[in-house]
Structure 1
C-alpha cells in the first residue's frame, strides 16, 4: 500500500536526483520508491512548487533506465493498446478509477491546490496518457494499486528487482 507520509529526501538523495534528472529537483517531499541499491526511483513532489506553480504529478519517475523503458513502450504505441483494453474491460476501468482516487488521497496529504483539484496523473481515471507517471505510481504504491502502471512495468525492459544505476547508491 501507499505510504504518503514519506521521510524527507537526504542530501545524498537530492544529489542522485540531480544527476538522474540533469537539473536541480524541485518540490521534493520524499522518495516514494527506491532501486535495490538505494537510489531514488520515484520522487514525491509537492503539489505546489516553491515558485507557486501547481504540480499535479505527485509521483515522478526519475530512474533513467525506468524512464527509458517507459519511453520505449510509449514509442511502441503500447498506450493505445492499454487505452483500448481500458475501454473494453469494466473491471480494469474500476481498478483504474480506484488508482486515481488513491493517487489523489496520497497527494492531498501534502496539499490540495484548487488549480489541480481532481487531476491526478497519466490520464487517470479515463485515459492512458503517460506511462512514466503510471509506472511511478505503481512503484510508489506497490503492485495491485495501479493496473495500467503495473502492466507497463511488466511489459518494459527495466526491472525494479535489479540495479542498473550508473550513479553510486544513495545509501537509502
Structure 2
C-alpha cells in the first residue's frame, strides 16, 4: 500500500468527509482511480484526543455500502458467527492483534491501549471499521471485513475492482 499523502489527497478527503481531515498519516487504500478509500490515522489527534480508529473509511460509495449492510442487520449475523465458529473467532482475534500492532507502530496512547475498533475481537459493532481494515491490510487479515466486502460484491453494492467515484 502506498501511504504517501499529497495535498490533492487531503483536498479529496475534505470533499469526501465534508470537513477538514484530522490526524491523517497515510492513505491505506485507494480506489482503482487513485482516490483515497481508507486513511491511516494517528492514534492521538493534534488536539490531544485519543483516536482508536487507525483505518478510517472515506470513499462515499463504500461507506454507503457499509451503511446498507448495517441497516440490514449484518453486524448481528457476523457477531453470531464469531460466537459460534471457533476458527472465525480465532481469525478475528488475530485481526484485532494486527490492528493494535498497526496503531502501535504509529505511537503508544495509554487511554486506548489494548482497544482496537469496531468491536474487535468479540463482536462486530461497525462494518465500516472492519471493511476499512480489510481494504488496508488486504485479504485474509480481517475475516469480518473480507465477509463484508464479499457481501457488497454479491449484492451489487460496491466492488473494489471497479471505480465508482
Give the TM-score band, short-chain normalised.
over 0.9
Q: Deviations over 1:63-116 (max 9, x none)?
A: 000000000000000111111111100000000000000011111111110000
Q: TM-score, normalised by structure 2?
A: 0.96
The whole-number CA distance in structure 2 between the counterparts of 1:78 and 1:7 is: 30
Which secondary structure does the structure 1 equivalent of 2:125 belong to? coil
- Which residue number in structure 1 is paired with residue 72 of structure 2? 76
Q: Partner residue of 1:87?
A: 83
Residues in 1 aligned to 2:136 and 2:3: alpha-carbon distance in whole angstroms: 13
Return 5+ residue gaps in structure 2 as ranges. none
Q: Which runs of 4+ in 1 moved over 2 A?
A: none
Number of the residue aligned with 2:46: 50
Q: Distance in 1 between matches of 2:32 and 2:144?
A: 23
Partner of 1:144: 140
Q: Secondary structure of 2:38's match? A: strand
Unaligned stretches of 5+ residues in structure 1: 166-172
TM-score (norm 1): 0.92
> What corresponds to 2:150 in structure 1?
154
What is the root-mean-square deviation of aligned Cα atoms in Å?
Answer: 0.9
Distance 1:45 1:74 in 2: 23
Query: Which structure is higher in helix share?
Result: 2
